[in-house]
Structure 1
């Protein structure tokens, strides 16, 4: 019963803090009041405030900087975006990948570093080890490879958007791999995209990415 009560108090604190954020009590980038101050304002314990802040940090609303405090990261709850993505159709997901992923990979061909390329080669090698084996293991490796492709564009906004969207990509990939035979030619497209990055060829990288998305 005590655990249920504690969890309920944390949920109430989260709701109160979300309400304050929605009302514009704090601006994006502003340092939030300290735990003692929030505890006093909300009439709850510091432990409850601490756990509530962890929930907000996990959801992406708040950034906790060790030794510095908590800062408001956004006023739009990322959880709502994730939930909206989860409801999107297969066609909507495909369209989004064309706009987000393919264009990011084009930028990556122009901006990637030698370190990026090494990391991508390693991620692709790990994916290859699982392509004909366990589906869950392959999907996890493949999503990591695609995230690194987007990260190689060195645009934090694109990276963050794709990180939220990757759950949709993973679900679609898992469905495809369990419903149709695995095609080596499809997997080989990953290596060809990486070759295009190494050759600094954004148009080829985007074209191959779009072919992969449609496969």
Structure 2
């Protein structure tokens, strides 16, 4: 049985329950097992199960009947509009990141100093340490942000750096939301793209650096669809 591994636990538990409903584990009108049964199956506490059930009740999938239990009232849920709006905001953030980071990557390749390149490489190593299933989402986002800031700083344009820094709070919140929606973060392919970007900057290959930066951000947008 798949268990919840990431926060927020209630959201993840609700997703797992909805997956089981969609898979046909319980028919329309069927009664769900009690909290004491569901809690160990999901790897969470009973209070988290109750919150997950409340979420699915609000989406019309489940209904709690006083003294009788919890019953399936729909076999699927309409799109969560909160999630739709979050994805739209994430796309806007990624577009803004592209406007800053693609040009910065190209400029960094042309202008980077040995010191700036060492800073970028250290940030890449830190990013590598703060990724994967055992890493907190916020810690991964912070390490990723530090890496991209090092690239922007290497571009040698203080206005681009000011734009990046001013934009960071909103970007951070959007990236955390995105990774929680996705459920995974920092896989090997993702880290490899960042390594290739550093290699392009080190080689002073501005065209490749810009192409890699643009393609990486575009792939994130595509993954949201």
Partner of 2:193: 189
Structure 1, 95-104 or 109-118: larger mean CA deviation: 95-104
List, as ranges, runs of 4+ consecutive aligned residues in structure 1 with deviation greater than 6 Å.
none
TM-superposed CA distance for 1:129, in Å, is 0.6
1:120 aligns with 2:120: yes
Partner of 2:162: 160
Aligned residues: 128
Alignment of 1:47-126 (within 5 A): 89-126=89-126
- Looking at structure 1, the residues matched to 174 and 166 of structure 2 have their Cα atoms a distance apart, in angstroms, of 14
- Looking at structure 1, the residues matched to 94 and 136 of structure 2 have their Cα atoms a distance apart, in angstroms, of 24
Residue ranges of structure 2 left out of the alignment (5+ in a row): 1-87, 221-225
1:208 aligns with 2:212: yes
The two structures have a TM-score, normalised by structure 2, of 0.54
Residue ranges of structure 1 left out of the alignment (5+ in a row): 1-87
Partner of 2:142: 140
- Looking at structure 1, the residues matched to 202 and 91 of structure 2 have their Cα atoms a distance apart, in angstroms, of 31
- Looking at structure 2, the residues matched to 173 and 154 of structure 1 have their Cα atoms a distance apart, in angstroms, of 25
The two structures have a TM-score, normalised by structure 1, of 0.56
TM-superposed CA distance for 1:175, in Å, is 1.7
TM-superposed CA distance for 1:179, in Å, is 2.1
TM-superposed CA distance for 1:195, in Å, is 0.5
1:33-80 CA distances to partner (integer Å, 9 max, x unpaired)? xxxxxxxxxxxxxxxxxxxxxxxxxxxxxxxxxxxxxxxxxxxxxxxx
